[in-house]
Amino acid sequence: MEQTIVNIPVGILYKFMMAVFIGSGISEKDAKTCADVLIKSDLRGIESHGIGRLRMYYDRLKAGLIEPSATPIIVRESPTTAVIDGNHGMGMVIAVQSMQIAIDKARQYGMGAVAVRNSTHFGIDGYYPLMAIEQNMIGMSFTNARPCVSPTHGTQPTLGTNPISFGAPTDEECPFLYDGATSITQRGKIEVLSRAEKPVPAGWVIDQNNRPMLDADQILDEILVDNAALLPLGGENELLGGHKGYCLSTIVEILSSALQNGAFLFQLSGLNKENQPTRFRVGHFFMAMDIASFLPPEEFKHNIGELLRILRSTRKAPGQERIYTAGEKEFEMEKNVQANGVPINANLHKDILFLQQELNLPGFIFAD
């Protein structure tokens, strides 16, 4: 079915996000942080984690699964490390504060590492290394997530899509920013296909008997009852390296739970023993490294810039016009979205109108 597409200007969408967060009980300062992370996703063309997730945050706040006014606290600290308890607040607020602590420690001692427990979904992983890049630092960010990925040789949704993000400044306008799930795809992309009423490509998701699943709505339902699993990076077996995606995901799960005595794997299902919705207890891990502790930042930026330029200039495969380096596509998309607005399909438009009505926000006009 064809979708109606509306382009909503970034500024209007941002104000709407703010209004929904404030209407859900979040302070203006924290709502700004949440909207900053969400709009960054839309700006970078990551449809799965921007306005498309606003309804999810609203529903979770309304259900009491996220505490709108929680204050994250430091429960343990050394000059270069900290453990934070997020107290079930908004993941973006907890993550921005935690990454800032890592950056402050790195500025003073060269490196900072912060482990977080009892947090909630924090949006795009790449937002947080971008904070370090702005300070001439290397940034890394990891998070665990609801179980939906099977281990190699298994079919049970056990690990989260557990993204890894690594960012560093270069001598170009576009920084190097890798930001991706450790599974072939992530739950948000299945949601995007569901909203667009399109099939899921074969090889992304299996059922409990290891058969491919293609129906996005069915997958989203069956994951919740253990009957469908996303596959780790590399796919269903060892031939194309599925075991490496599985192991990378396990590393993210360890960093996001073990150092902070946090929850992991099935404990993140969002359901309690009585199968009732409960708080997610997501964990994160952030690192910042001050480049100036190793060498003058301009030398580092030149080194990494050269490295990336060589990669892009190498021989192209037949039919391919361009070799990319991580972050380039999203960086270019940001200019396009700033100029043309965020594309919204018919089903997402319905979600926006629903939120507008629920929170009585008549001031916004989302024409179709």
Considering only the stretches 42-50, 210-218, 269-277, 344-352, report the one whose residues sit in contact with ligand NAD under the rule CB under 6 A.
Answer: 42-50
Considering only the stretches 15-23, 112-120, 209-217, 320-328, report the one whose residues sit in contact with ligand NAD under the rule CB under 6 A.
Answer: 320-328
Q: Which of 306, 324, 335, 353 binds ligand NAD (CB under 6 A)?
A: 324
Residue 21 CA to residue 43 CA, distance in Å, equals 19
β partners of residue 229? 206
Residue 180 CA to residue 170 CA, distance in Å, equals 20
The nearest distance, CB 307 to ligand NAD, in angstroms, is 13
The nearest distance, CB 256 to ligand NAD, in angstroms, is 10
CA angle (184 as vertex; 213, 51 as ends), nearest 5: 90
Q: Which of 163, 232, 245, 270 binds ligand NAD (CB under 6 A)?
A: 163
Residue 201 CA to residue 348 CA, distance in Å, equals 21
Question: At 274, phi and psi to the nearest 5?
Answer: -90, 10
The nearest distance, CB 143 to ligand NAD, in angstroms, is 5
Q: Which lies closer to ligand NAD via its Cβ, residue 232 or residue 327?
A: 327
The helix/strand/coil state of 290 is: strand
The nearest distance, CB 334 to ligand NAD, in angstroms, is 12
Q: Which of 33, 48, 150, 256 binds ligand NAD (CB under 6 A)?
A: 48
Question: At 290, phi and psi to the nearest 5?
Answer: -80, 115
Question: At 234, phi and psi to the nearest 5?
Answer: 100, -20
The helix (H) or strand (E) run that includes residue 140 is strand 137-143
Residue 269 CA to residue 161 CA, distance in Å, equals 13
Q: Which residues contact 222 (CB under 8 A, 6 or more apart)?
A: 207, 213, 228
The nearest distance, CB 327 to ligand NAD, in angstroms, is 5
Judged by CB under 6 A, the chain residues 185 through 204 that form the site for ligand NAD are: 186, 188-189
Residue nearest to ligand NAD (CB): 180
The nearest distance, CB 75 to ligand NAD, in angstroms, is 22
Judged by CB under 6 A, the chain residues 115 through 144 that form the site for ligand NAD are: 121-126, 143
The footprint of ligand NAD (CB under 6 A) covers 46, 48-49, 121-126, 143, 145, 161, 163, 165, 177-181, 186, 188-189, 324-327, 329-330
